[in-house]
Structure 1
Amino acid sequence: MTRPLGIILAGGLATRMGGGDKGRLPLGDSTLLSHVIDRLAPQVDGMALNANGDPVRFADTGLPVLPDSIDGYAGPLAGVLAGLDWASEQGATHVVSAAADTPFFPRDLVDRLLIAAQRDGTDIALAATLDPQRGAMRQPTFGLWPVALRDDLRAALEDGLRKVVLWTDKHGAAVASFAPTPFDPFFNVNTPEDLAQAEQFLETAP
């Protein structure tokens, strides 16, 4: 399999942060989104940003900005679908999604997702945090998605599906598990307190 394209999911409502573009919040010397871009770029053959509203506000990133094609806020799967439609236009077979508010995700995310999919003989793989007590906790905004299933996903969304794992379980998704390093590598910023915690993590992030 050739290296997939990347889609950064930035279409959330950020209600617990007062609204707006959560990825633009400062972290260290840059922003949450900048950290995500820096981590994903070396792992993929190209990237786009899924966000709704005026795309000009992201012009400084140099990335294509893809709005949801499903009416209303349909959640992260709508962003995945936007990425799959874009990837189809580029002639790609897969995309890997990453959330714009998760600045410490693994630098080997894509390789591990590809390995998991190949191991299980499937085209879909989700990342997971390996929890000592609860086992693999899936991270549904971080996944490997095949362009070939974009029409299936579109139909599911139009029928009202919103929960990621209901769709991925239907297609037998593989799981790539990541151990804490020492904190959850998929720690995401939802509140001002989370942002303060991220500043502390930034000093120890691998």
Structure 2
Amino acid sequence: MSLVLELANYVGITAFGISGSMKGIRKGMDLLGVLTLGFSTALGGGIIADVLLGIMPPTNLVYLPNALVALLASLFTFIFYKVFTNVNKPLIYADAIGLGAFASSGASLAYSVDPSPLLVIMIGTITAVGGGVIRDILSNEVPLILTREFYATSVIIGSGIYFVLRYEGMSNYYDIFISFVITTTLRIMAIKMRWELPRILHS
């Protein structure tokens, strides 16, 4: 089961790295800018979460496989940009898998530090969506999660479910896996059914 989640984690890093790199390319950034945006999107949320939890140095800055996957995904996107423009839909679903993996792993890490529901939900959410927020800010845009789609909401629900399962005594890995499945499923359903939160429309 841990192997499944580890694979999902690398799927997420790859998808997020491509997402950040594509944004950098569209914004006219050079190679360094594209690599920076791809790396930040893929690993920035986990780095912020570690800093908030007092884990120093952050895991994503010392565990080389994560950094290597993020940088390679960004580099390949830069080199084969035209190819990636034609695989948008698969990347969206890969992004959903990564979202679930990051949310459940972040929630688990937070619970191991302090079993506080607010901490678990916040760290799970930051781990999953923090990189995307960094990507949008560096691109001089309002973060996507604040303006459209049922994105961060699925992470909040999934992280909350992790806390409840763990608090009720379910063994680790099972609670992580269930949280991962629920978060990913909610995100995929939101994509297919075009769920959005209410907003006020100005004329």
Higher share in strand:
1
Higher share in helix:
2
- The answer, yes or no, to whether TM exceeds 0.5 is no
What range describes the TM-score normalised by the shorter chain of this pair?
Answer: 0.3 to 0.5
TM-score by length of 2: 0.35
